Amino acid sequence: MESKRRRPTEAELAILRVLWEGQAQTVRAIQRVLNQSRPTGYTTVLKLMQIMTEKGLVERDETCRPQIYRVRYSQQQTQRQLLGDLMNRAFGGSVKALVLQALAAKKSSPEELEAMERLLDRIEGGKQ
């Protein structure tokens, strides 16, 4: 239930990306960044931030005005939670099925393939 409760929507992920790139920010600062790629109203961002606070995705510092928001979970933690969710819901918990579909969906660059090889080597204990 906890993972479902803190599963961010697309709009919430856009806000989280802004916070992951910088430090804690005000609603106005977040809205300015979001506005660069897509017109977003201040009250829309404020409402999303309130919802995200209730979901436990962000924390609000109420000791200062304007209030400052910061992420509660790192980008890596959130990605792992979302990936685990997807793996369980769409792939029956199969890592192999998820990875094979991910690799088939988009051609990987030589750099990406090399990074995958290094990861597999590390997982296998350095076997070559």
**Which residues partner with 60 through β-bridges?**
69
Peptide bond into 66 cis (omega under 30): yes
Range 2-71 has CATH code 1.10.10.10 = yes
Bridge partners (DSSP) of residue 25 are: 69
Domain ranges of the chain: 2-71, 95-128
| pLDDT tens profile 74-124 | 999 999 999 999 999 999 999 889 988 988 898 889 999 899 889 888 888
Give the span between the Cα atoms of 128 and 109, in whole angstroms.
21
- Cα-flanking dihedrals φ and ψ of residue 68, to 5°? -110, 140
CB 82 within 8 A of CB 7: yes
> Does 127 have pLDDT greater than 80?
no
Span 18-63, pLDDT tens digits: 999 988 899 999 999 999 999 999 999 999 999 999 999 999 998 9
Prediction pTM value: 0.80
